[in-house]
Structure 1
């Protein structure tokens, strides 16, 4: 089961601190994400990408506008949405299995059912045999797999991912990109994924939403029409069409990154 996401003229303003001026992180953002779609957000640092994800997750309120899930207003966090951050946020005293089971306790599942579902989620992300390992015994990529399994275990209708692979080496990151696409195809979950990487955006997204420098707006949404083989054996990144999409998104981002740099130089943060 998956859910559509609608943002209608969403603005998010943060109040002033220490006598300073308030600032607007997002301004009049409108975006439609169809049920089961994989959409990627890219934009310069400080453009409000993470703020937008927080609004969809229900972790922060909108200042104006509305965020809807299947037509229902978002009023707070819910088990219909899973969130994966760049930081793994695993409990060091719990095994991989125990970390995944933790999220299932909120659903009121009994111990036997929790263990069964958690094992299935770890199997889905390729961690069969690592159920009893503690976080310090896992690589960075494996920790992120546990974090993804934890979010998938309670079968969210929407998966929100905030630069989950940014801290990983290139080889691990590409492997997890393929793993995520495999999971998405299997589950049909609606995915909104934030990244700074243009290659990652083109590789993963059915559509890529390019954001402006702050205040963040949707500058353009690019449809990505690539033939992605399910077995991921071909080198899609070397295809001419991939390079064309990468160039298109780079051109859209170029002026925004420069504008963000000018704001930082002027002391606007």
Structure 2
């Protein structure tokens, strides 16, 4: 059975004044997602890409229970998602760390909500900081950590209370290229070790291909699933020769496939923006 199911999911938002020209929404209504069907298996790493404004983050908000669909259903383990829950952990682009708490304190904060006794929190928080490679940085405050380290703390906090599903909304977008690639490797290692189901939103085609077992490509607004691309490399670690996966012919082929699917949608989204600006 699928872990996550989007079943004919539509999401509209009210807007003041005249309705936007999106082909579906009525007067005073904006359609972000339209009849989305998507299944994600247990333990799968699913990446979602699409043009700006196509509803990627809305999709994640629906799964996180932060908003509810206008039509259709979002199912988790066969039950409708009706609100937030500790079975889902979320990592955002902005770290959202508590500045007055140390790295250890930030991770322990996530454990308080699950009722972990105080005497056990520190040990468990240290365990997950170790999992993301931050042993020795437990007593540092967020302002004493680099951007990449802060995002590692955010990942450790999301994992510490052991959610079944990890939701990630462009978590590496604000980082420099070298740090981003390092954290991509770290995340892939954590996923392989923990077996979590991961739903990862990104604008980056290379990031999508490098991380995802499958890549769901959304259309321009209103967002629909255009195609789901399977990505298979066998062993995703560096090969026997130490060659980076990103330089392999298989990577280039998958990247081109996703780019081709996105190309027309990005152009269509840009045309729509110009039409709306001129209206």
Instruction: Provide the TM-score with structure 2 as the length reference.
Output: 0.93
Q: Deviations over 1:198-239 (max 9, x none)?
A: 000000000000000000000000000113344685300110
Residue of structure 1 aligned with 2:235, choices 190, 204, 228? 228
Contact 1:182–1:230 (8 Å) recurs in 2: no
**SS class of match (1:128):** coil
Distance 1:204 1:244 in 2: 15
Are 2:18 and 1:11 aligned? no
The aligned residue for residue 168 of structure 1 is 175
Query: Where in structure 2 are there 5+ consecutive unaligned residues?
Result: 20-27
Q: Deviations over 1:99-146 (max 9, x none)?
A: 111111111111121111111110100000000000000000000000
Are 2:187 and 1:180 aligned? yes
Distance change (3 Å), C-alpha of 1:156 and 1:131: same
Query: Where in structure 1 are there 5+ consecutive unaligned residues?
Result: none
Residue pairs, 1:1-269, within 5 angstroms: 4-18=3-17, 20=19, 21-230=28-237, 233-267=242-276
**Number of residues paired by the alignment?**
267
Distance 2:100 2:7 in 1: 42
The aligned residue for residue 23 of structure 2 is none
Distance 2:220 2:237 in 1: 35
**SS class of match (2:217):** strand
Q: Displacement, 1:263?
A: 1.1
Distance 1:14 1:190 in 2: 29
Q: Displacement, 1:19?
A: 5.8
Q: Displacement, 1:16?
A: 2.0
Contact 2:238–2:244 (8 Å) recurs in 1: no
Q: Deviations over 1:163-202 (max 9, x none)?
A: 0000000000000000000000000000000111100000
Worse-matched range after superposition: 229-238 or 125-134: 229-238
Contact 2:94–2:171 (8 Å) recurs in 1: yes
Q: Deviations over 1:38-72 (max 9, x none)?
A: 00000000000000000000000110100001101
Instruction: Provide the TM-score with structure 1 as the length reference.
Output: 0.96
